[in-house]
Structure 1
Amino acid sequence: MTSTQPDTFTLADRQPAASVIAECLRTQAIATPRSPIARLFGRTPLSTDAEPWYVGALGELEVARRLDSLGSAWRVFHSVPVGRGSSDIDHVVIGPPGVFTINTKHHEGQEIWLGAKRLLVSGQPTDHLRNASYEAKRASRLLSAAAHGLIDVTPVIVIVGARRLTVRERPATVVVLRERGFIKWLESLPAVVPTEAVEQIADAAAKPATWHEMPVLEDADVAAFGRLRREVDAARTRRRGWAIAGLLAIFAALPLGAMAAWTSVMAVLVP
């Protein structure tokens, strides 16, 4: 669902993950409903097409939750539409240390390897560094034009949910951090922007027209996404329940000797 916002609307009112939530729900709306049997056995309600949007939304919501802890000296904008099409910037953060574009990447349980010019996810190359750099340069150009002065923007990639982040070498221009460390990093930076300048930049950033040629913003149905999230969580819980029940059934069917051996192994593995 899309709606043209009134002139009084600013991006300070924009919901976190608004764009990806809207796309997730739109894609999910045309998915084939689960059968009763599929529900019984805990098959996920997410369609294959909706799942990447759902995972992306969870990542942006987690980063937004952590950004809420920043003090009153900071200004944060979420899901900022940019350009001519449907692209957006996950988060724009403005504070005493400067201006930052934050690109959220939700890689649950994945192994991340970081080099000076490459970021690999479970061994596979990505365009994360290039895209984050481009995003920050674009934001710098648009904000500089709106604020009538040069505004440097630092690109940041926040990795959510990764099993491990191995750093071989830090990139020269893009900051890559895990979700649990990036707020502390932001707050540790020296203050270089006066309060008045922070407010001036934030005023420019709050205007949809600063970023997009025809700013028509989507209203994300947060309540509907919450219901979908509860369904996904319930399905996961049900699958785990069936898995545990299956293991218990196998265990109960073992001969006494095998059962004793299995118990000994489990005692070692799970002290």
Structure 2
Amino acid sequence: MTISAPDDDAAQVLTHPGSGAAAISAVEALWDRQAPVAPRTRASRILGRSPLGDSARAWFAPALGEARTAELLRTLSTSGEPWRVLHAIPVVAGAPAIDHLVIGPAGVFALSTATRDESGSETHVREPLVEARLASTLLSNALGRPAVVRAITVVVEPGRRPAEIPGVDVVGLDRLVRHLRSLVPVQSVEEVREITRVALKPRTWRAPGETAVFSSSAPGAGSHAHPTASELGFWFARLRTEVARARRVRLAWVTGLSGTVAAAAVIAPMVVQQLSS
């Protein structure tokens, strides 16, 4: 079954249904915690101290995982194929946000990222089946017909596989696009368009009687005014660069000190021998 790409919106990258701009919930949660952190001193930068505040550390890996997944999905949604991608789906208050919603010939998929923090601990614990069922219920109500949403857990770190969950596909980030394209088509281009139009409406993601679309501040977040989506993207890009640079500086210090210790271990016996002769 061959499905041609829509000719009117093939290159459009769909974004946050509530605001009309790309937004990734974990990045917003990270910003809430990182915003009040004072800039590093020159000495801290020289020593390679991480720019992340204590309460922000646990959110950096989830934010990075969601951002990397969104960057990869962009190649799918701008390829000319009938795939559409939405990020940070706002849901009913108290329910988990959906990282990414992918709509295409093979169906509708709720994607969540599986990540670890710097200590190797699980972070940003998700309930992919809950998210998929919630999306399915809300989409079905808005469409007026059943809409099945499948759950996918995206593994960001190579060589790592989280515990299996019945009903959830576990896919490595490097295989995600290939996996989606390999699935058997089950709906037409018109159905893709219809579901996309409905998914872009903020009211789709509200339960009956619900007025607030979503809250971008997670528990423990600060009370700072949020930047625009564009500003948030630039801010996170800078933070990623700073974190990576700090890590390289720390590695350089460790490597340098290790080399000094190794050289001293070799030279010291020679010096002792010369002094005793």
Q: TM-score range by the shorter chain?
A: 0.7 to 0.9
For 1:14, give the aligned amino acid. Answer: A
Pick aligned residue for 2:261 from 222, 245, 250: 250
**Which of residues 101, 107, 112 in structure 2 aligns to 1:98?**
107
Give the structure-2-normalised TM-score. Answer: 0.75
Query: Could you tell me which amino acid in structure 2 is paired with residue 89 of structure 1?
Result: I
Contact 1:12-1:77 within 8 A present in 2 as well: no
- Deviation sequence 1:107-129 (CA, Å, 0-9, x none): 3799xxxxxxxxxx87x89964x
- For 2:189, the equivalent position in structure 1 comes to 195
More deviation, 197-206/209-218 = 209-218
Q: Does 1:51 align with 2:41?
A: no
What secondary structure, in the 3-state scheme, does the structure 2 residue paired with 1:165 have? coil
Aligned CA distance change for structure 1 residues 157 and 245 (closer, same or farther; 3 Å)? same
**Structure 1 position 30 matched with structure 2 position 24:** no
Residues 125 and 204 (structure 1 numbering): CA distance in 2 closer, same or farther, change over 3 Å? closer
Which runs of no fewer than 5 residues in structure 2 stay unpaired? Answer: 1-15, 217-225, 271-277
Cα 1:258/1:107, change in 2 over 3 Å? farther
What amino acid is aligned across from residue 38 of structure 1 in structure 2? S
Identity within the alignment, %: 34
Query: Partners in 2 of 1:32 and 1:140 — Cα distance?
Result: 43
What does 1:68-107 correspond to in 2, within 5 Å? 68-70=74-76, 71=79, 72-85=81-94, 87-107=96-116
Matches within 5 A, 1:1-271: 10=17, 13-17=20-24, 19-70=25-76, 71=79, 72-85=81-94, 87-107=96-116, 128=126, 131-165=127-161, 171-212=165-206, 213=210, 214-215=212-213, 219-220=228-229, 221-255=232-266
Do the aligned residues in 2 keep the contact of 1:132 with 1:155 (CA within 8 Å)?
yes
CA distance in 2, matches of 1:24, 1:161: 19
Q: Quick one: structure 1 residues 20 and 189, their matched pair in 2 at CA, closer, same or farther if it must change by over 3 Å?
A: same
RMSD, aligned α-carbons: 2.9
CA contact (8 A) 1:158 1:182 kept: yes
Deviation readout 1:83-102 (Å, 9 max, x if unpaired):
12584210001111111000
Paired residue secondary structure (1:155): strand
Q: Deviations over 1:214-252 (max 9, x none)?
A: 236763321222222222112111111111111121122
Name the stretch that deviates more: 32-41 or 247-256: 32-41
Read off the aligned partner of 1:215 and give its amino acid letter: V
Shift of 1:256: 5.1
Whether the 8 Å contact between 1:100 and 1:136 is mirrored in structure 2 is yes
d(CA) in 2 for partners of 1:239 and 1:153?
A: 44
- AA of the residue aligned to 2:22: Q
Deviation at 1:103, TM superposition (A): 0.6
